[in-house]
Amino acid sequence: MKAIIVRRIERADEETIHRLEAFGVATIHEAQGRHGLMRPDMRPLFPAARLAASAVTVLCHAGDNLMIHAALDVCRPGDALVVAVKSESRDGMFGELLAVSCVARGVRGLVIDAGVRDSSTIAAMGFPLWSKAICAQGTAKSSAGSVNVPIVCADALVHPGDIVVGDHDGVVVVARAAAQDVVRQAEARETRESSTRDRLRAGELGLDIYGLRARLKELGVEWVDAL
């Protein structure tokens, strides 16, 4: 694979992005058929971190953040950086200066399958990010990689311009072409869940609401009074 930097990508419309943000990761994951979720190792830097944005994708050599710098050059306000590494690393590939630069360029957040540093400063800035480690280990700027090519980040396939959504449950990726349909499915799901929530609150059981007693019987599960 050649090392390239793609300048122009298609992005999702902001309206769709905002609606996805409101649903949150768990609902979107369900709405699109339980697809696109990153590994649970990806944790937010601070509990209130929330993100929904078009992804500028970055593929770096482990321990080298040269391509993150290159990616900032093609970012537009409202984008998020989504960074994959060619082999496993927890090095601190992103720190305060890059966060300052992101804020200056209007980059909305970061998802990185590696480590970050200057963590308390970045948290104080309120810049939302998801990473698999916090680690002060510095990185080189010597190895080629790519920007805006399809990447695998924390087990999820991300195409440039896909919408990446993050909250306290983790990170999910929504394909740009599917985004509006996912919004519709998520709305339908929320409507259903809202009614279910009311019934559960009133003391009904999921066992009855979802018709699971029959399934338990089919599966041969037996009720006994005592062991």
| Total site size for a second copy, rule CB under 8 A | 103
Site for a second copy contains 63 (CB under 8 A):
yes
The count of other CB atoms within 10 Å of the CB of residue 58 is 34
Closest approach, Cβ 15 to a second copy, in A, equals 23
Q: Which is nearer to a second copy, 86 or 184 (CB)?
A: 86
Q: Which of 17, 55, 70, 179 binds a second copy (CB under 8 A)?
A: 70
Amino acid at 199: R
Q: Which is nearer to a second copy, 126 or 138 (CB)?
A: 138
Closest approach, Cβ 217 to a second copy, in A, equals 10
Closest approach, Cβ 60 to a second copy, in A, equals 10
The count of other CB atoms within 10 Å of the CB of residue 16 is 18
Amino acid at 81: L
Of residues 171-210, those binding a second copy (CB under 8 A) = 172, 193, 196-197, 200-203, 205-207, 210
Site for a second copy contains 164 (CB under 8 A):
no
CA dist 89 to 41, 66, 86, 130, 165, Å? 13, 15, 9, 15, 23
CA distance 199 to 205: 8
Of residues 104-163, those binding a second copy (CB under 8 A) = 104-105, 115, 117-120, 123, 133-138, 140-146, 148-150, 152, 155-157, 160
Q: Which is nearer to a second copy, 17 or 99 (CB)?
A: 99
CA dist 143 to 3, 65, 92, 115, 125, Å? 10, 8, 16, 18, 29
Q: Which of 124, 123, 68, 134 is nearest to 101 (CA)?
A: 68
Q: Which of 12, 17, 20, 25 binds a second copy (CB under 8 A)?
A: 25
Closest approach, Cβ 8 to a second copy, in A, equals 5
Q: Which is nearer to a second copy, 91 or 162 (CB)?
A: 91
- φ, ψ for residue 83 (rounded to 5)? -115, 120
